[in-house]
Amino acid sequence: MSKKQSDYIITRNQNSYEVVIGLEVHAQVLSDSKLFSSSPTKFGAEPNTQVSLVDAAFPGMLPVINEFCIKQAVKTGVGLNAKINKRSIFDRKNYFYADLPQGYQISQYKDPIVGEGSVVLDLVAGEKTIGIERLHLEQDAGKSIHDIDPQNTLVDLNRSGVALMEIVSKPDLRSPDEVNAYIKKLRSIMRYLGTCDGNMQEGSLRADVNVSVRKKGEKKFGTRCEIKNVNSIKFMQMAIEYEANRQVDVIEEGGSIDQETRLFDTKKNETRSMRSKEDAHDYRYFPDPDLLPLEISDDFINNIKKSIPELPDEKKKRFIEKFNLSAYEANILISDIETSKYFEEVIKSSDVKLSTNWITGELFALLNDKNLEISKSPISAKNLSKLINLIKDGTISGKIAKSVFEIMATGDKNPIDIVKEKGLKQQSDPKELEKLIDKVINGNPDKVKEYKSGKEKLFGFFVGQAMKASGGKANPQLINDILKNKLK
């Protein structure tokens, strides 16, 4: 959840129009092998090195369903609070393309494995539930490469046959901000479940974005355009903004929207027509005769349900109730499963409030700065916990802790050792501090006079001088107390 509203807005006639968005998210199933073959699915392998005869569609090859991928889809369905269909059917979706050697994609059409469900978004304005229409399994196609050879298009079939879950939302989204929250929530749920790594740079999560506009208060939806295959949240938001404004302009000029498939040009920041929208009948769907209807038992489903870990919404609730966090803090800490694990590890032996502040403050800033995921954090949860305990028990001040933290960031050193080696232990002996303060007071008789005659602001000056004299190591609370006493 971001606290600030995004910059993406419908600029044209924003008071009289509303944008309506529905997403078809393609999420790559986290699986070592493909949906119907045993080829590996590693990202970044040499082109055409992960291709079996099935994936290359040699004549006579038969698909064999990968049970693990079925489990992953059901698991995701459970995470989306969705109906699991015990009987589903694999269909052939026929179309011709160079990177589709079969001449059809095996997908699910009328009988998907997962039916209706829902996802809850945490928006600035509160919670909003987005309907899920369905989740079906399908094969990915290969990849056409146009920019290596000037004359020819090259084809890499490594992706051919990789299992995808297509998650279709209802047209419930109303702004680029909501789309941002929706994708993040979906990704978070799948990462908790371990069913999709959600890595958008590697294409594990992409979406077709359906956009229409309508006059506010209008009941009927407008005609939608579908923007194909957008692979980052930022591009989705930019594409929606452009497309909504374009549609409003067309309507305001007296025209009407043609239902079509469009492409988002990320360099020009505009959508362009690719083709008029294909209808289902254009694909000549029919059940794949090589695959029997898929039937799963109650036991199969129940075993999966038992294996579901605590999901983001439950975790958020628990964090708020058990640890007394604000909804805002809880959201930050649960959004990513690795962050929540780190947090729970730290608070095993440390103060919750301090831990929350240090993780969402210093640690996030450090990770951001180094562009690192929390799983690669240069400071382990154990060591951060030790640092927090040093602050809590008064061994070091918060200020000193920041410099210890900086040293820790260079190589996960134990903060206890750092404090010892550098002699950073807080000075908490009242006698020592008193000596120090006497020196400050005796050295500044003019300031003392001014203070006593009412210039109370000068108190900060004395604290500063005393802290400085101690090399920043004095216990600030004690300094305050002693000073107050002496200057009375």
- Sites of contact with ligand ADP (CB under 6 A): 20-24, 168-171, 210-212, 221-222, 224, 226
Least Cβ distance, residue 136 to ligand ADP (angstroms): 9
The binding track of 15-34 with respect to Mg ion, each residue x by CB under 5 A or -, is: ---------x----------
Nearer to ligand ADP, 124 or 280 (CB): 280
Least Cβ distance, residue 199 to ligand ADP (angstroms): 22
Partner touching 353 among ligand ADP, Mg ion, none, CB below 5 to 8 Å by kind: none
How far is the C-alpha of 136 from the C-alpha of 72, rounded, in Å? 11
Nearer to ligand ADP, 260 or 344 (CB): 260
Partner touching 112 among ligand ADP, Mg ion, none, CB below 5 to 8 Å by kind: none
Name the one residue in this structure whose structure tokens are 């309508």. Answer: 214
Partner touching 224 among ligand ADP, Mg ion, none, CB below 5 to 8 Å by kind: ligand ADP
Nearer to ligand ADP, 58 or 95 (CB): 95
Tell me how far apart the 2 most distant CA atoms of the chain are, in Å. Answer: 100
Partner touching 95 among Mg ion, ligand ADP, none, CB below 5 to 8 Å by kind: none
Nearer to ligand ADP, 130 or 437 (CB): 130
Give the interface segment with Mg ion, choosing from 26-34, 100-108, 190-198, 201-209 (CB under 5 A).
201-209
Q: Are strands 225-230 and 260-265 parallel, antiparallel or unpaired?
A: parallel
Least Cβ distance, residue 85 to ligand ADP (angstroms): 16
CA dihedral 363, 368, 372, 373 (to 10 degrees): 70
Least Cβ distance, residue 248 to Mg ion (angstroms): 23
The Cα-based distances of 475 to 48, 385, 417, 425, 480 in angstroms read 65, 21, 20, 10, 9
The Cα-based distances of 346 to 130, 263, 281, 354 in angstroms read 34, 46, 56, 10
Partner touching 171 among Mg ion, ligand ADP, none, CB below 5 to 8 Å by kind: ligand ADP
Nearer to ligand ADP, 217 or 445 (CB): 217
User: Where in 204-263 is the site for Mg ion (CB under 5 A)?
Assistant: 208
Name the one residue in this structure whose structure tokens are 């927090």. Answer: 388
Partner touching 238 among ligand ADP, Mg ion, none, CB below 5 to 8 Å by kind: none
Partner touching 191 among Mg ion, ligand ADP, none, CB below 5 to 8 Å by kind: none
Residue whose C-beta lies closest to ligand ADP: 22
Residues 6+ apart with CB under 8 A from 366: 377, 378, 379, 405, 409
- Which among 374, 392, 370, 384 is positioned nearest to 413, based on CA atoms? 384
Least Cβ distance, residue 275 to Mg ion (angstroms): 13
The Cα-based distances of 186 to 42, 120, 309, 342 in angstroms read 23, 9, 15, 21
Partner touching 379 among Mg ion, ligand ADP, none, CB below 5 to 8 Å by kind: none
Nearer to ligand ADP, 176 or 222 (CB): 222
How far is the C-alpha of 16 from the C-alpha of 215, rounded, in Å? 6
Q: What are phi and psi of 95, to 5 degrees?
A: -160, 160
Residue 242: DSSP 8-state: H
Angle between helices 476-486 and 430-443 (to 10 degrees): 50
- Which among 182, 95, 179, 93 is positioned nearest to 136, based on CA atoms? 93
Nearer to ligand ADP, 140 or 226 (CB): 226
Least Cβ distance, residue 359 to ligand ADP (angstroms): 36
Sheet holding 91-94, edge to edge: 104-107, 91-94, 286-287
C-beta of residue 93 within 8 angstroms of C-beta of residue 198: no
Nearer to ligand ADP, 259 or 414 (CB): 259
Nearer to Mg ion, 24 or 241 (CB): 24
Partner touching 22 among ligand ADP, Mg ion, none, CB below 5 to 8 Å by kind: ligand ADP
List residues binding Mg ion (CB under 5 A): 24, 208
